Amino acid sequence: MLHTTVVDTRRLPTADRFDMWLETVSGSSAKLRIRTEHSADFTARAVFTDLGPIRLARHDYPSLTATSPGRPVDRRDRGSYQLGLTVRGGSRCRQEGRDSHFTPGDFTFYDSARPHHLDHHSGAGGHASSVVVIVPHTVVPLPPRRLSTLLAARMPGTEGVGRLLAQFLVEVTDHPEHYHAADASRLGTIGLDLITTLLGRHLVAEEEVPAEVRRRALFSEVQAYVRRHLGDTTLGPQVIADAHHVSLRSLHRLFEAEQTTVAAYVRDLRLQRCRRDLADPALRGRSIGSVAARWGFASPAHFSRVFRAAHDTTPQEWRSRHLDQSRIDKTAASTVKRSPAD
């Protein structure tokens, strides 16, 4: 599991909760002056996850305002950018003369080393929620002068690379248990690539994003697209290329760099989903043909040929073997549970 640090004010006496939150926030970003009508009983939660070059912070808190005078940077602390995704409630950011409002699904970008003002308003359930990515200035491969034009700007997280980044941030912060600690650095690289690409596109300066960063971000977009459309029997290289506005040749080169092909990637992902369904006792009543169709195989006969070529067994034999094993495991667990009373 990824290493996380959890701060939950509900674990403390009511009178100590707001002071704890002030200390937590001061340790994770620039010095902030925070005001709230809920200081008498400030119930809030923060989860911090370190991912190599970046840090994620998932916040849930009552309405508040935060103002920072900025701070000088030095050789030891070169400062950081922060990219915030509003998850619940509403937000507002003011910096460098720009004043923008945000609703769930919007990103905002600001420099924690410069003066700024933030407002967060509670949503359903009485709390605001956001995911903030803390990105050191030194790891963003874009000119600081150009990035200044994006400070306090609104960037949608509901389309294109913004949507992919939003899904990535919510998934990682909601379910750190889905990943191994060894995955942290690689996940950080993926996150930074997506952030850099998002900023580059809003600068209309994508050519300034390093080519390898663009390639990795595009590959992540293609992977997400394939997962969303896996059940579509028409899904193939040309459809994928058209959806991402690249040539078929460029798409094939993208997959060559990953030491696979487009067709092999789609096929292997479909087989993976079929294996999972065939081994699921809850789906034992579903025909093999319907399982195959669910994941984009055009016919049961075609699916059977592809499955046998990949696994040297038939789908029915695979299903029987794994369902039998599931029954054995369930019986064994039941026996162990009953044995103390024997």
pLDDT, position 74: 52
What does the pLDDT average to over 197-219? Answer: 79
Q: How confident is the model at residue 342 (pLDDT cuts 50, 70, 90)?
A: very low
What's the predicted TM-score (pTM) here?
0.71
Which has the minimum average pLDDT: 24-38, 237-251, 291-305? 24-38
**Residue 150 · residue 109 · CB < 8 Å:** yes
Superfamily in which the 4-207 domain is placed by CATH = Jelly Rolls (2.60.120.10)
DSSP 208: G
DSSP codes of every residue in 93-126: EEETTEEEEE-TTEEEEEETTS-EEEEEE--GGG
- How do residues 20-54 score in pLDDT, each as one tens digit? 888 877 654 556 788 988 889 999 999 999 999 99
**Residue 113 · residue 80 · CB < 8 Å:** yes
Spatial distance between the Cα atoms of 22 and 301, rounded to a whole number of angstroms: 63
Spatial distance between the Cα atoms of 325 and 321, rounded to a whole number of angstroms: 6
Which has the minimum average pLDDT: 78-87, 122-131, 234-243? 122-131
pLDDT, position 78: 63
- How do residues 261-289 score in pLDDT, each as one tens digit? 999 999 999 999 999 999 999 898 999 99
The chain-wide mean pLDDT, for the chain, equals: 87
For residue 223, which amino acid is it?
A: Q
* Domain extent listing, the chain: 4-207, 229-336
What does the pLDDT average to over 316-338? Answer: 71
pLDDT, position 144: 85
Sign of CA dihedral 5, 8, 13, 14: positive
What beta strand segments (E) does 146-253 contain? 154-156
DSSP 39: G
pLDDT, position 214: 79
- Fold classification of 229-336 is Arc Repressor Mutant, subunit A (1.10.10)
Q: How confident is the model at residue 232 (pLDDT cuts 50, 70, 90)?
A: very high
Cα-based distances in Å from 274 to 292, 300, 327: 7, 12, 20
pLDDT of 181 > 70? The answer is yes
pLDDT, position 129: 92
Which has the minimum average pLDDT: 41-55, 78-92, 275-289, 327-341? 327-341
The reply to whether 229-336 shares the fold of 4-207 is no
What does the pLDDT average to over 79-90? Answer: 93
Cα-based distances in Å from 131 to 106, 111, 169: 11, 16, 7
